[in-house]
Structure 1
Amino acid sequence: MTPFFSLGAKTKKMSSDIYSQLVLAVYIFTFLTGLPSNLLAFYTFLVKVRHRPTPIDILLLNLTISDIFLLIFLPFKMVEAASDMKWPLPAFLCPLTNFFYYCSIYTSSLFLMAVSIERYLGVAFPIKYKLRRRPVYAVAASVIFWVLSCAQCSIVYIVQYQVQSPNGTARSINASHCYEEFSPSQLQILLPVRLQAFLCLFCLPFTITIFCYVNFVRILVALPKIPARKKQRAVGLAVATLFTFMVCFAPYNLSHVVSFVQKKSPTWRVYALLPSTLNASFDPAIFYFSSTAVQRTFANCLASLRCKLRAVVAWCSLPCLTRCRKGDSEVEAASRDETEGSTT
């Protein structure tokens, strides 16, 4: 008979394999869908900012940069997932990859909040806001957001990768795994930091975003002279943003609260982190509803791809049509010969 501990080891290994495959699938999907769309959005916003900078374009440009950073380092996470969640790459890439990976979560939530504030002020106080709106304010807000998110991730990095050993010297842990387990001394520092991130970098932005978009949509719907298409864009922008918060950011941030209450990381935390990666794929929908320039860029790109696809299909079908016509000619010639032979 197979020992019980052997069955348990096999079950654990099977569960680990399924998790690794799921993580790899999510990473591949995010990379293939997020990279081209974010690059198109980055080009569009960069051209607009260089030509005529506006606060909304500056904020969306920074949001795009945050997603691109995540996508650039995402292939390293793919290698980790393909290696059964072990880190086979050089050790210095582990903290660097995770720094940008987690930093993107917090910067995205802050910039989405800023976009909602800008949209709300534009419709609630159109004259006053237009007179006082300056691109420099958006630049200053962007700098503050980057500093806050980077500072948050820097604390986690220090706690995770540098621990005081008994003799007082710093040592690194988890050499074969990247950002996986924490010691009790680490958790004493890390759990309050996670709770602070939940309150300041998720709850506060999420609450402000809900307030701004609910009133933003309410004001636009109440105005009779606003075109129906613009109202639909407003609703689409609000829905896409709130969907990103609830699906991508909420599960991971709620695990911070559970960790603080239970004094340890919950087992489902690794699964709650996966939707955060999809943020890079969902943000282009927000870009689409936020900017007509992005809509034109995406439409032109799709039209160009459609034309190229038609050309490729026509080129591939041309030899088939030639062979079919040649075959039809041969059949007609053979039938003609048979007819002439029977007549003779």
Structure 2
Amino acid sequence: MQNSSSENCTDPHITFKSHLYATTYTIVFIPGLLANSAALWVLCRFISKKNKAVIFMINLAAADLAHVLSLPLRIYYYINHMWPFGRGLCLLCFYLKYLNMYASICFLTCISIQRYYFLFHPFKAKDWKRRYDVVISAVIWTFVGLACLPFPLMRNFDLKNSNSCFADLGVNKIGSMTASVLTVTTAELLGFVGPLIIIVYCTWKTRKSLQEYQGPFQNTSEKRRALRMVAMCAVVFFVCFTPYHINFFFYMLVKENVITHCAIRRSTLYSQPFCLSLASLDCCLDPILYFFTTSEFQDHLSRHSSIIIRSRLMSKESASSTKE
């Protein structure tokens, strides 16, 4: 991918990325912390029947919360342009970003598959055991945890400039051009294209089933809830992860000097901060999946809220009666 203009091409110095990252992470932190903490509390405490993908939603909320808790350190770095916390903590925060992204992709895929499968095989749903979802979740965490290790390992932590971290770290070369293309292509197929095809297929089949179905209203309502859930998984996937992975393929090839075309290099490097910022928004969008697509979540949350309101009203009434 070379052209004559690539010889005089210099990569752009992107000065706005620190402000963009600091702003994005600040916006995401508070709602992401509150929403995912509340979701974990409600899902774990109030929903005794851990079916209908609730186990996967618990793991999804835990993945989001792990990333959200690392955001204050990222905000500090992009505001102050220095990292005084050591190499280990830098690489850990860097690792949590990608662990959250690919764990979220896997659990969104599992939610879509399970809701689609149980909708078309309702009798098998009754025999499904909670421990099956627990085992699947453990396998996902193990696989994703190992698969994400290369991301921090590929970053070059410069000992001469130990105050640098995150986006300012250099990228180590993978190897030859063939190895670079093969590695990036495999990562894209497993981490993006495969889950994308599955989520789109589940959404399409669920929607088609609802359009063709004519039966009791109760079954129609169940199909609508299933469609809302898989459709919301697709929305989160397309908004947060699709731009990043499309850009990531070109970004890694630019960093490996496989792509030398000046216009492509510049547009890819300019787009990277925006795509990476979009990927962090899943911490705020995932809780919408729990509330608006899970009737059990709404029922338990509204029930608990009404209990709190009633207890506060009763305490006020008792306080006013004692004054009289």
TM-score grouping bracket, smaller chain normalisation = 0.7 to 0.9
Q: Is the counterpart of residue 244 in structure 1 residue 241 in structure 2?
A: no
Secondary structure, in 3 states, of the residue corresponding to 2:205?
Answer: helix
Q: Is the counterpart of residue 207 in structure 1 residue 202 in structure 2?
A: no
Q: Is the counterpart of residue 291 in structure 1 residue 294 in structure 2?
A: yes
In 2, Cα distance between equivalents of 1:142 and 1:173: 41
CA drift of 1:234 comes to 3.6
Secondary structure, in 3 states, of the residue corresponding to 1:87?
Answer: coil
CA drift of 1:125 comes to 1.3
1:272: which partner in 2? 275
CA drift of 1:30 comes to 1.0
In 1, Cα distance between equivalents of 2:160 and 2:72: 23
In 2, Cα distance between equivalents of 1:192 and 1:160: 19
1:126: which partner in 2? 122
Q: 1:280 to 1:297 in 2, by over 3 A?
A: farther
Q: Is the counterpart of residue 82 in structure 1 residue 85 in structure 2?
A: no
In 1, Cα distance between equivalents of 2:160 and 2:130: 44
CA drift of 1:22 comes to 2.2
Q: Is the counterpart of residue 178 in structure 1 residue 181 in structure 2?
A: no
CA contact (8 A) 2:42 2:301 kept: no
Give ranges in structure 1 of 5+ residues lacking alignment. Answer: 1-10, 163-170, 311-344
CA drift of 1:239 comes to 3.1
More displaced 10-residue stretch of structure 1: 35-44 or 100-109: 35-44
Seq. identity, %:
21
Question: What is the 5 A alignment of 1:90-169?
Answer: 90-131=86-127, 133-161=128-156
Give ranges in structure 2 of 5+ residues lacking alignment. Answer: 1-11, 258-264, 314-324
Q: 1:176 to 1:307 in 2, by over 3 A?
A: farther
Structure with more relative contact order (C-alpha pairs < 8 Å, separation 6 or more): 2
In 2, Cα distance between equivalents of 1:173 and 1:286: 45
Q: 1:195 to 1:300 in 2, by over 3 A?
A: farther
4+ residue runs of structure 1 moved beyond 6 angstroms? 301-308
Structure possessing the higher radius of gyration over alpha carbons: 1
In 1, Cα distance between equivalents of 2:151 and 2:192: 16
Q: 2:249 aligns with which of 257, 263, 268?
A: 257
Equivalent pairs, count = 286
In 1, Cα distance between equivalents of 2:214 and 2:57: 26
Secondary structure, in 3 states, of the residue corresponding to 2:165?
Answer: coil
The TM-score normalised by the length of structure 1 is 0.73
Q: Is the counterpart of residue 46 in structure 1 residue 44 in structure 2?
A: yes
- Which amino acid in the other structure matches residue 196 of structure 2? F
Alignment RMSD, CA only? 3.1
Q: Is the counterpart of residue 73 in structure 1 residue 70 in structure 2?
A: yes
In 2, Cα distance between equivalents of 1:178 and 1:88: 10
